[in-house]
């Protein structure tokens, strides 16, 4: 059930009404039932997987919390992580590695093949698996208490607004809200509806329309693809994936806020990043923090030599890329980000910036060229992310360097990309200037009303004709 459908709108209205007017105990049952109904809408058998993840996390955390022996506690946490990652690996990665192994065996002349499995990739399995693992590890590290109620653990893992594409919540942030008294208010409802509308606009008006152009470039339905069109395709995909994913997050946060709960901010103007580190403080923030706390730091973080710090950064980003999808293009995407993080870290070590620059106190010129450079580095990384193969990514890279030219088609596509991207660009410049997420409230009511009406008309008239799933549903 996609957020941008009439089915979800009716579903959410029913859930909101029942949650608001039923007694607290019954309203929490409504939330859990709605979460399982929402997830089961894709395929009911997938509920068995999320239930295995929930039960293993719940009883694994209880066993860890009740055990004083460090060795046994370690065994429990390892067993729980292995079980959850084993399910994730089977459904998401088995066929990928089996196919890669078969290709290697053929290249070596070995007449043996590994069988593929006919498995449906469960929607959102990467997100709820990481959330469940994070809960168990936090209990193991004694940063969070183990939850005694299986019902509460189930609601934490399956809470429907953020179930299939995040944000990846920490138990210390979300669990107290799920257990607390309802805190709905008119102000929360108003801000929630604003976030929902903003998310739908990003997804349906910007992302889906830009998706038509990126498909023409990357799926090569347009035979006139050259370096200029590839560059435009990268610009289009940069805004498509941002509006698609941040649009989902806005809707998820808006739905949760209408229910009186607050989900984590997952995007903070990422294309205004001034460095690779800054990008990952702004893009998919909850995943970045998860990888930092549960992978990078356990690997050793920055506690060792520069070589080992670089190794830890590279491995973290490599596995972060693989988390996004079972394909070598995602591995290359993660490797690219790992390399630019290492290069930037080494550059700063060899050429330490002045104190004012180190603190981020840039002049407009210093800030501007850093933003432009980092945006284009990010676009290059999106080439690997969106490409259908490593070979296509390489061919397009060569085109970007060697094969440019202006045609009437290029001009038309440039106008097309700008037309659908400028509302986002304009609004985010305003957000950056005001240093706030919601700035439209700065406008007088009359002008604000005109903006809302214009956005509604744009959605009604210029929305993409088909209803596309969110890109991150496949992860």
Q: Any idea which residues carry the catalytic annotation?
A: 324
User: What is the distance between the alpha carbons of residues 253 and 81, in angstroms, rounded to a whole number?
Assistant: 28
Show the CA angle centred on residue 251, arms to residues 4 and 121, nearest 5°.
65
User: Could you tell me which residues come within 8 angstroms of residue 6 by beta carbon, excluding any fewer than 6 positions away?
Assistant: none
Main-chain phi, psi angles of 109, to 5 degrees? 80, 15
Compute CA 328 distance to the chain's CA centroid, rounded to the nearest angstrom: 19
């Amino acid at each position: 059930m996609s957020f941008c459908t009439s089915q979800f709108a009716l579903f959410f209205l029913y859930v909101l009404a029942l949650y608001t007017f039923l007694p607290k105990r019954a309203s929490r049952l409504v939330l859990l039932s709605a979460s399982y109904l929402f997830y089961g809408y894709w395929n009911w058998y997938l509920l068995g997987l999320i239930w295995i993840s929930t039960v293993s996390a719940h009883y694994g955390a209880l066993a860890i919390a009740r055990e004083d022996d460090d060795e046994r506690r370690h065994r429990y946490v390892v067993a729980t992580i292995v079980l959850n990652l084993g399910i994730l690996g089977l459904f998401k990665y088995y066929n990928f590695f089996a196919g890669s192994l078969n290709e290697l065996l053929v290249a070596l002349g070995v007449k043996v093949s590994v069988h593929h499995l006919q498995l449906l990739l469960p929607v959102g399995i990467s997100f709820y698996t990481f959330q469940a693992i994070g809960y168990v590890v936090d209990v193991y590290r004694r940063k969070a208490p183990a939850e005694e109620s299986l019902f509460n653990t189930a609601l934490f893992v399956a809470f429907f607004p953020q179930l299939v594409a995040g944000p990846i919540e920490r138990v210390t942030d979300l669990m107290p809200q799920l257990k607390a008294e309802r805190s709905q208010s008119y102000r929360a409802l108003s801000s929630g509806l604003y976030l929902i509308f903003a998310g739908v606009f990003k997804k349906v008006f910007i992302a889906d329309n830009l998706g038509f152009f990126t498909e023409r470039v990357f799926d090569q339905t347009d035979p006139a693809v050259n370096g200029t069109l590839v560059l435009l395709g990268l610009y289009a995909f940069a805004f498509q994936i941002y509006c698609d994913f941040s649009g989902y997050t806005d809707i998820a946060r808006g739905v949760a806020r209408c229910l009186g709960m607050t989900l984590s901010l997952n995007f903070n103007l990422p294309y205004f990043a001034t460095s690779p580190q800054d990008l990952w403080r702004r893009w998919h923030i909850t995943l970045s923090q998860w990888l930092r706390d549960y992978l990078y730091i356990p690997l050793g973080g920055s506690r060792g030599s520069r070589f080992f710090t670089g190794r830890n950064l590279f491995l973290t980003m490599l596995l972060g890329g693989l988390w996004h999808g079972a394909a070598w293009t995602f591995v290359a995407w993660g490797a690219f980000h790992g390399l630019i993080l290492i290069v930037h870290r080494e550059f700063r070590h060899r050429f330490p910036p002045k104190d004012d620059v180190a603190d981020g106190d840039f002049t407009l010129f210093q800030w501007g060229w850093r933003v432009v450079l980092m945006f284009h580095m990010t676009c290059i990384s999106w080439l690997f992310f969106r490409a259908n193969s490593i070979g296509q990514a390489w061919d397009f890279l060569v085109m970007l360097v060697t094969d440019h030219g202006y045609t009437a088609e290029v001009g038309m596509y440039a106008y097309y990309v700008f037309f659908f991207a400028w509302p986002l660009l304009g609004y985010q410049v305003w957000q950056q200037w005001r240093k706030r997420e919601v700035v439209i409230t700065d406008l007088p009511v009359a002008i604000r009303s005109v903006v809302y009406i214009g956005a509604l008309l744009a959605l009604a008239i210029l929305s993409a004709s088909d209803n596309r799933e969110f890109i991150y549903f496949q992860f």
